[in-house]
Amino acid sequence: MRKIQVKIPSCPKSSYCVAVGSGFLSEVLPQIKKAMPGKELFLITDANIAKTKHLKNFLGRQQLPRFIISPAGEKSKNIKTVIKIIEEMEKRTLGRDCAVIALGGGTVGDIAGFVAAIYKRGVPVIQIPTTTVSQADSAIGGKTGVDSSISKNAFGAFKNPAAVFIDVRTLETLDKEQFNTGLVESIKHGLIADEKYLKYLQKNLKAILARKSEPLEYIAVKNCQIKASVVEADPYEKNKRRILNYGHTIGHAVESASNYKILHGQAVAIGIIAANIIEQKRGLADEKRLEELKNLFAKLDISLKIPKSITKKQILDAVKRDKKAVKKWPPFVLLEKTGKVLCRNDRFAHNVERKVVEETIDILLRQK
């Protein structure tokens, strides 16, 4: 088992450890109880996990009060679900001496983290991610939130976990689409921070798709190291941490415009293609990287086609409502080259003219 320390220099008490391994899920609950003696534990998971062996493996012979989010997925990622969970915790008379455990994918982690951030003005949360997207990204870093009826993650709070446990064996039960699209966050990490890592993903794609433990553990560790280095430098997304949003600005807009029928990873893949088109228009990239990425996404069976039901106006409207927007327009993260984000005047996100974004969306809508 590998352990990665995520340090928060501005608040050392918020630092935490990420444990990465294979087949150790049954050992996690005893570790949590040992680390948090006297804490009342409350488990948040979803209907998908409840159908798998993971819930039973995690609990063993023990029982915990729990809330099962249903339906699983982005449709339940809203304030109504948060209220239901909090009221369930109140019915069980849980106080500030409780701790929340999130067992599931990104939606479970985001909801549980947000609940922990606001319940009784804050209780600890332990993240146990079970999907490629949550193990790569959402379980680490402390960003939590839920969607409004208008935009993605409109309600949110920073809540660093007390600990993160990544067992790559939990990826065995993911369907192909969830597994493959979740790898887009790993590809993003290679693009923004480590060209060698991106090449590793390309070279070892066959073994990764076969879900072999060795490459999956390597990916999990590498993702944690990249994200930890960024979070440590900018824990509350004032500047550098925005690089983790590469491909997400237009990606989130497409995801919202689809009413979350498009999976997050697929939407981010579309957003990464959009970012590359903008980079070409800015003279920062050539056609080669764009074609390589399209080929890589094709190998993952990720469609880059935006459904005909989604219009340019809907995407632009969602872009304007991006949570990072100032004066109704968000800054964009761009690459200087593969593995290195463009940084000018000590800023990692930049203004992109509306005309350029509109032209880019037009190109996306024409993709087959």
Domain ranges of the chain: 2-225, 237-366
The distance from CA 249 to its chain's CA centroid, rounded to whole angstroms, is: 14
321/171 Cα distance (integer angstroms): 33
| DSSP category for residue 102 | E
pLDDT at 314: 97
Q: Tell me the pLDDT tens digit for each residue of 258-279.
A: 999 999 999 999 999 999 999 9
Model confidence at 13, pLDDT cuts 50, 70, 90, reads confident
Alpha carbon distance 8, 25 (integer Å) = 26
Both structure tokens of 324: 């990072």
Neighbours of 276 (CB within 10 A): 25
> What is the model's pTM?
0.94
Look up residue 88 and give its two tokens: 């369930």
User: How is domain 2-225 classified at the CATH fold level?
Assistant: Rossmann fold (3.40.50)
User: Which CATH superfamily does the domain covering 237-366 fall into?
Assistant: Dehydroquinate synthase-like - alpha domain (1.20.1090.10)
The mean per-residue pLDDT over the stretch 182-189 comes to 98
Distances (CA, A) of 232 to 114, 190, 304: 21, 18, 33
Question: What confidence tens digit (pLDDT) does each residue in 70-89 have?
Answer: 999 999 999 999 999 999 99
- Known catalytic residues are 121, 143, 185, 227, 237, 241, 245, 248, 252, 264
Closest CA to 72 of 19, 3, 131: 131
Helix 248-257 vs helix 354-366: crossing angle, to nearest 10: 60
